[in-house]
Amino acid sequence: MASALLAKKALRQALAVGARSQATVGRRSGAVISIIGSSRRTLASVKDVTVNVTFINHEGLRITVPGRVGQSLLDVAQMHDIELESGCGGGGAVQQKKHSERWTEDLFGRGPCCHFCHVKIPSPWINTIHDKQPATEKEHELLEEHWQEEATDNSRLGCQVMLTKNLDGMQVFIPDGPPADCP
């Protein structure tokens, strides 16, 4: 009974301190259990999931804002009241995720629905994005159909580009959108 109390006390101390320790706990049957606590728990911090993005509008005004891993460029822009149009409200969820050259996972979602959130992403950022998040045929069609004069190889729809940690520091150019007062 006394050894059980000592074992419980050692276990509580090991867990409370959080120090890397090893406590041996005896049980009635005589079996021995070894418990190892970690020295420090590594919890995800805000820094680990924060991605800074610099938006540059058609007038050359720059603003650097934080976004979270997993958000789209459109989500980040809307969260910080940056003028990036979205006719569909950002409803175009990603339909596929490229994991490797051989494996592209099909996901749920309608894909791109409009062309308003057109952005231009300079190299090398666009190359990093294309490696893991290639543009779909529908995205290419929308860009070519509605942005013939301005669409380039660096053009993407903001709702289709999801932030990853390796995009920290990325710059995004927002071209002048279509007139808002047209009937």
How far does CA 118 lie from the centroid of its chain? 19
Determine contact, residues 40/24, Cβ cutoff 8 Å. Answer: no
Per-residue HEC secondary structure of 134-175 comes to CCCHHHHHHHHHHCCCCCCCCEEEHHHCECCHHHCCEEEECC
What confidence score (pLDDT) does residue 79 get?
A: 95
**Delimiting residues of CATH 3.10.20.30 domain(s) in the chain:** 46-173
Q: Is the pLDDT of residue 96 over 50?
A: yes
What confidence score (pLDDT) does residue 24 get?
A: 44
Spatial distance between the Cα atoms of 156 and 162, rounded to a whole number of angstroms: 11
Mean pLDDT (the chain) is 78
What confidence score (pLDDT) does residue 114 get?
A: 83
Strand, coil or helix: 62: strand
State pLDDT tens for residues 3-18.
565 555 655 665 555 4
State pLDDT tens for residues 62-83.
999 999 999 999 999 999 999 9
Q: How many CA atoms lie within 13 A of 53 on its CB side?
A: 37
**More reliable by pLDDT, 126 or 93:** 126
What confidence score (pLDDT) does residue 21 get?
A: 40
Yes or no: domain 46-173 corresponds to CATH 3.40.50.720: no
State pLDDT tens for residues 165-176.
999 999 999 998
Residue the block writes with tokens 């729809």: 157
What confidence score (pLDDT) does residue 16 get?
A: 56
Spatial distance between the Cα atoms of 52 and 69, rounded to a whole number of angstroms: 10
User: Which band of pLDDT confidence, cut at 50, 70 and 90, is reported for residue 162?
Assistant: very high
What confidence score (pLDDT) does residue 43 get?
A: 67
Average pLDDT over residues 29-55: 69
